[in-house]
Chain A
Amino acid sequence: MAPALLFGQRAWAQAKAALPTAGPAWSQLSTPQREALAPLAGQWATIPPENKRKWLEIADRYPQLSPEGKARLQARMAEFAKLTPEQRRTARENFQRAYELPRESRESAVQQYQLLPDDKKKELTERSQRKDAAKSAQKQ
């Protein structure tokens, strides 16, 4: 039964990927949705349909925020939407990891990161990537 379920789900995913759906157009959004997602207006047409659904979920939560919360959310919205899917995935992982640490350790990591010069960041990233590649090669 499990392989049949897996096959069915894969077939459904493939069928869905083949459908030419782009999600709702900016003009189809309600006024509160357009107000909440205003920083995304220019790039809305290029956002994949699943991401649009996620942003509409966020727009539903927007009215509950304080004026400061609304301003912060909108200030970071466009920057976040411009990240690659891989960067967004990393951002979510790092955010969760950061909140597993005490506040002081979290702030220390942010400070260390911000103090690192760009070329040093690049070097450390490459070194970390090489280490990860070696680890995954050992596992195989």
Chain B
Amino acid sequence: MNQDEFGFRVRQALNDGAERLDYRTVLRLEQARGKALALQRRAGPATVRLPALQLATAGAAPVDGGGPWSWLRGAGWAAPLVALAIGFVAISQWQEELEIKRLAALDFAVLLDDGPLDAYADQLFGVLLQAEQKADD
């Protein structure tokens, strides 16, 4: 008896067994099935929860099994780091942009002023301004 023939015989024996089930057993099985289906209908569609970044690949190789999507396992912890790096760059650029705008506004005012530039650029003028401020106080 080869393997195929053995498999065929086993299947036949199981089918014969099912056909010969007691009618009460069949009835109880049928009732249980009905109850289970009713319960499922009342509960609504089932929600399937998957871990973050794990693909729902029904029928395909499991993600943990090293299939074609296994590289995504690494992305699970790398993604927050990448997001953090992008955040750093964005914040730095935004701060730099604000500083450039602030300096541009200030320099624009200095350039339009009629006060002497050489005085403004001299620390000594700052000392004289402080002296004036003290005199005013």
Interface of chain B, main secondary structure: helix
Pick from B107, B121, B129, B132: contact of A54, CB below 8 A.
Answer: B107
Instruction: Knowing A54-B100, A94-B129, say if A12 contacts B117 (CB, 8 Å).
Output: no
Instruction: Knowing A8-B84, A124-B127, say if A77 contacts B111 (CB, 8 Å).
Output: yes
Which chain A residues border B110 with CB–CB below 8 Å? 76, 80, 91-92, 95
- Binary interface encoding of chain A residues 101-125 relative to chain B, with 1 for a CB under 8 A from any of its CBs, else 0: 1100110111011101000010011
Chain B, Cβ-Cβ closest to A56: B104
Instruction: Decide yes or no whether A97 CB sits under 8 A from chain B.
Output: yes
Interface residues of B in 84-137 (CB under 8 A from A): 84-85, 88-89, 91-92, 96, 100-101, 103-117, 119-133, 135-136
Which chain A residues border B133 with CB–CB below 8 Å? 97, 100-101, 105
Interface of chain A, main secondary structure: helix
Q: How many residues of B contact A (CB 8 A)?
A: 41
Q: Report the minimum CB–CB distance from B91 to chain A (whole Å).
A: 7
Select the residue from B91, B105, B114, B121 with max chain A CB neighbours within 10 A. B121
**Does A72 lie within 8 Å of B111, measured CB to CB?**
yes
Which chain A residues border B112 with CB–CB below 8 Å? 65, 69, 72-73
Q: Report the minimum CB–CB distance from A125 to chain B (whole Å).
A: 5
Instruction: Knowing A113-B125, A124-B124, say if A53 contacts B100 (CB, 8 Å).
Output: yes
**Does B126 lie within 8 Å of A94, measured CB to CB?**
yes
**Does B124 lie within 8 Å of A109, measured CB to CB?**
no
Pick from B111, B124, B135: contact of A58, CB below 8 A.
Answer: B111
**Does A113 lie within 8 Å of B122, measured CB to CB?**
yes
Q: Report the minimum CB–CB distance from B77 to chain A (whole Å).
A: 16
Range, interface on chain A: 35 or more
Task: A94 to B136: give the CA distance in the assembly, Å.
Answer: 17
Which chain B residues border A97 with CB–CB below 8 Å? 126, 129-130, 133
Chain B, Cβ-Cβ closest to A77: B111
Binding site for A on B (CB under 8 A): 84-85, 88-89, 91-92, 96, 100-101, 103-117, 119-133, 135-136
Instruction: Return 15 A-B CB contacts under 8 Å, by A number.
Output: A4-B84, A12-B89, A12-B92, A13-B92, A50-B100, A57-B100, A58-B111, A61-B104, A76-B117, A91-B120, A94-B126, A95-B106, A106-B132, A125-B122, A128-B127
